[in-house]
Chain A
């Protein structure tokens, strides 16, 4: 069949792109709007909302909480996912499909179930709510993502390289530091960055478990209800959108770095 041109389909794809991107673009657009109401017509250009955002002290606290949670959760998730990915790519073992499924479930079941059940056990044990249970919850649902990213990266890994290093007299640790790590580093960093973005944006688990320690999405949720506070949330939203897009692009670039050409077309599990 001749798959060269199909104007109708192409037109539809353009429409689809518009549908994907336009809603997201409205937030930055309205963040420069000189007016209280989030409605058309747009009144004028202003940077006031950004200034207002800069001076909100609660926002700063929430931002630091989010960064702390994101880094801790994503580092732990990447580490656990790396070990798991190693097991899945290197060995054939009993119960392989079952364990793979088990590790993926936190990503598959409705998030509210995860959040609520963590809340129930946390309260029944009598531990104080705060950032710790949020980190556990975030690590839990970041592991599946990180693992899929790392497996796709490690499947192309040439085991002979490790063996060659061992044959040439490197120890186990030396082989890891001087051969395995440099090869897998881009994938590990990509996994860390995407895990960070996931945790940074996560709202539901954080809302249930935060107690009085708000993360950024929880803070935004609180502000969304007040029309007067909305503009500076939009400014914040615009900054977050630009920031996460840059991080994600960097992560994608790192993921494909140094991949053999024919593999490049396959690394798109997420």
Chain B
């Protein structure tokens, strides 16, 4: 025992580092790990009214996954919708942001940081208000519809703009753009220009150079952006609640209902666990696929 301690102290960098890290780690353990575990435990209980029966059961998971019942149908639909919407948001956010990151990394010569700061400032203003702003734009009497009508392009407002999956996707793309911009910019900015020169000198066209040199080298940024956008948006609550309507409702809105109005903590906990599980699975898949892809390129 003593020898173990001695060894630990001999490599005292370990000890010193963990002493400094301990407050943050304790917070993560007590504030996140333990509560998530408690929620996991809660998902095996049964709640009737205000009474919670703590005898363990898998019934909540059956309730969630049984598509024969109304609850099961709703919950599984919302889960797959949440994942689809997040996937679309991730894809379009990266697609629209990539050219901008590319421009700043390669074409801007002075004050790159100022450009990046300007593009991240909207991200710091209240999430709630940014989402709400889209209601003013996409709504039936919102900016887009009002201008379309006044120009005479349409007689009645385009109702699919609001309270639909489309409105949720647009709003989320706007809200999360900064999270795509930063990793993309950092990875593009690191690229050694001489590699691009070499590819051009060896006869590749601009397009070929991009596909075969620039893009593969920026993949770490793309992967970073995928994970940093996909994971949080699966659990987004505000956007579907404000601009989603019934059409664009997501799993988090149901979880919130279970912990509020419906008052079924057990089923709410099971739903949250399933959401967390799906997120972890997707993360593993993304990691696996991108590793394969980068090996090929």
Contacts and interface: CB of A to CB of B under 8 A. Distances in A.
A159 interface: no
A249 B118 CA distance: 9
B58 interface: no
A244 B126 CA distance: 8
Contacts of B177: 20
A220 B127 CA distance: 12
A23 B139 CA distance: 13
B74 interface: no
Nearest to B210: A1
B289 interface: no
B21 A237 contact: no
Contacts of B197: 1
B17 A87 contact: yes
B112 A265 contact: yes
A192 interface: no
Nearest to A139: B27
A97 B268 CA distance: 33
Nearest to A116: B272
Interface string B90-122: 000000110110111011000011001111111
Q: Please tell me the size bucket of the interface on A.
A: 35 or more
B18 A103 contact: no
A65 to B, nearest CB: 16
B53 to A, nearest CB: 14
Given A117-B36, A265-B112, A21 B122 contact: yes
A113 B269 CA distance: 9
A124 B38 contact: yes
B27 A12 contact: no
A245 B129 CA distance: 14
A270 B124 CA distance: 11
Contacts of A10: 103, 107
Which of B107, B177, B268: most chain A CB closer than 10 A?
Answer: B107
A164 interface: no
A268 B103 contact: no
Nearest to B206: A1
A113 B36 contact: yes
A181 interface: no
B259 A208 contact: yes
B122 A24 contact: yes
A27 B13 contact: no
Contacts of A265: 112-113, 189
Interface stretch (B64-72, B142-150, B158-166, B215-223): B142-150
Contacts of B24: 80-81, 83-84, 103, 143, 147
Interface string A84-102: 1011101111101001001
A39 interface: yes
A59 interface: no
Contacts of A3: 106-107
B87 to A, nearest CB: 15
B232 A108 contact: yes
Contacts of B13: 91-93
B73 interface: no
Contacts of B237: 111-112, 204
B147 to A, nearest CB: 7
B125 interface: yes
B25 A116 contact: no
B61 interface: no
Interface string A19-32: 11101101100100
Contacts of B97: 16
Contact of A91 (B17, B147, B232, B234): B17
A187 interface: no
B210 to A, nearest CB: 10
A40 B126 CA distance: 23
Given A21-B122, A99-B25, A120-B42, A6 B259 contact: no
A136 B32 CA distance: 10
Interface string B124-144: 111111101111110101110
A215 B196 CA distance: 51
Given A1-B209, A109-B231, A203-B238, A40 B128 contact: no
B21 A40 contact: no
A31 B86 CA distance: 32
Interface string A173-213: 00000000000000000000010010001011000100000
A240 B129 CA distance: 9
A37 interface: yes
Which of B97, B142, B259: most chain A CB closer than 10 A?
Answer: B259
A105 interface: yes
A9 B102 contact: yes
A224 interface: yes
Given A203-B128, A237-B126, A270-B182, A117 B235 contact: no
A50 to B, nearest CB: 16
A217 interface: yes
Task: Return the 9 tightest CB-CB contacts between A and B, nearest first.
Answer: A110-B235, A39-B141, A117-B35, A87-B20, A40-B146, A117-B39, A93-B17, A91-B17, A87-B17
10 contacts: A9-B102, A80-B24, A80-B27, A88-B17, A102-B25, A108-B228, A116-B272, A136-B31, A140-B27, A269-B182
